[in-house]
């Protein structure tokens, strides 16, 4: 059984993950409008990953006999960024999510909720991966600066991103 405090914190994290999905969906549309279909593809898969993260918390709350309470999802503000700024915004957002996960870990530990603590280990590792993959793209974009050929090559590379289930097949 989840404590009301943990239950509430996990519901808030569902909202954070759904907002993340919404943000990446907006970024995908923005990239598509720039003619960068590979970037759009990468953000679209990121959107799907965030939905899966929300689902993982959703299922866990129910599995532990808790109550799922869904709140309104905020409006994602993407503005009019360059490709580099899009990814920098993505990384800043992932830094925020990492902070949320760390706070949740602290809470689970303070309540001796070992099951939630173990669930969150998966998310700690996932955040390391997400920040690293976003940072790698930022590094490449900084290297090519505004060079159209370089941008084109990165776009082709990002077009190859597949859902994990397909890449393992
Ligand atoms: Fe669900 Fe990108 O963190």
CATH number of 4-72+79-163: 1.20.1260.10
93 Cβ closer than 6 Å to some ligand 1 atom: no
User: What's the 12 CA to ligand 1 centre distance in angstroms?
Assistant: 14
16 Cβ closer than 6 Å to some ligand 1 atom: no
Helix ranges, 34-113 (H): 37-63, 83-110
Q: How confident is the model at residue 168 (pLDDT cuts 50, 70, 90)?
A: very low
Q: Which ligand 1 atom sits nearest the alpha carbon of residue 53?
A: 1
Domain coordinates in residue numbering, the chain:
4-72+79-163
Q: How confident is the model at residue 169 (pLDDT cuts 50, 70, 90)?
A: very low
53 Cβ closer than 6 Å to some ligand 1 atom: yes
Distance (Å, whole) CA 33 – CA 144: 21
Distance (Å, whole) CA 85 – CA 23: 14
- Reading the block at residue 131, the tokens are 């920040």
Q: Which ligand 1 atom sits nearest the alpha carbon of residue 54?
A: 1
Give the CA-trace dihedral at 24, 30, 34, 36, to 10 degrees.
20
Distance (Å, whole) CA 155 – CA 35: 10
User: What's the 100 CA to ligand 1 centre distance in angstroms?
Assistant: 10
User: What's the 3 CA to ligand 1 centre distance in angstroms?
Assistant: 24
Q: Which ligand 1 atom sits nearest the alpha carbon of residue 94?
A: 2
User: What's the 112 CA to ligand 1 centre distance in angstroms?
Assistant: 25
- Reading the block at residue 102, the tokens are 């760390």
The answer to whether residues 55 and 64 touch, using CB atoms and an 8 Å cutoff, is no
- Within 10 angstroms of residue 75's Cβ, the number of other Cβ atoms is 9
Distance (Å, whole) CA 134 – CA 93: 11
Q: What is the pLDDT of residues 25-84, one digit of tens each?
A: 999 999 999 999 999 999 999 999 999 999 999 999 999 999 999 999 999 999 999 999
Q: Which ligand 1 atom sits nearest the alpha carbon of residue 97?
A: 3
Rg (CA), the chain: 17
Q: What is the pLDDT of residues 91-146, one digit of tens each?
A: 999 999 999 999 999 999 999 999 999 999 999 999 999 999 999 999 999 999 98
pTM of the model: 0.93
- Within 10 angstroms of residue 141's Cβ, the number of other Cβ atoms is 21
- Reading the block at residue 145, the tokens are 């600066």
pLDDT attached to residue 6: 98
């Amino acid at each position: 059984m989840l404590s009301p405090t943990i239950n509430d914190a996990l519901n808030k994290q569902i909202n954070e993950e759904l907002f993340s999905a919404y943000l990446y969906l907006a970024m995908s549309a923005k990239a598509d409008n720039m003619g960068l279909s590979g970037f759009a593809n990468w953000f679209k898969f990121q959107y799907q990953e965030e939905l899966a993260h929300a689902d993982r918390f959703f299922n866990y709350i129910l599995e532990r006999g808790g109550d799922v309470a869904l709140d309104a999802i905020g409006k994602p503000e993407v503005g009019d960024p360059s490709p580099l700024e899009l990814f920098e915004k993505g990384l800043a957002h992932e830094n925020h999510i990492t902070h949320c996960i760390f706070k949740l870990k602290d809470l689970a530990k303070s309540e001796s909720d070992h099951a939630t603590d173990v669930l969150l280990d998966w998310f700690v590792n996932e955040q390391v991966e997400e920040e690293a993959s976003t940072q790698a793209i930022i590094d490449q974009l900084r290297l090519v600066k505004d060079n159209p050929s370089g941008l084109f090559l990165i776009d082709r590379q990002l077009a190859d991103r597949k859902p994990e289930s397909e890449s393992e097949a």
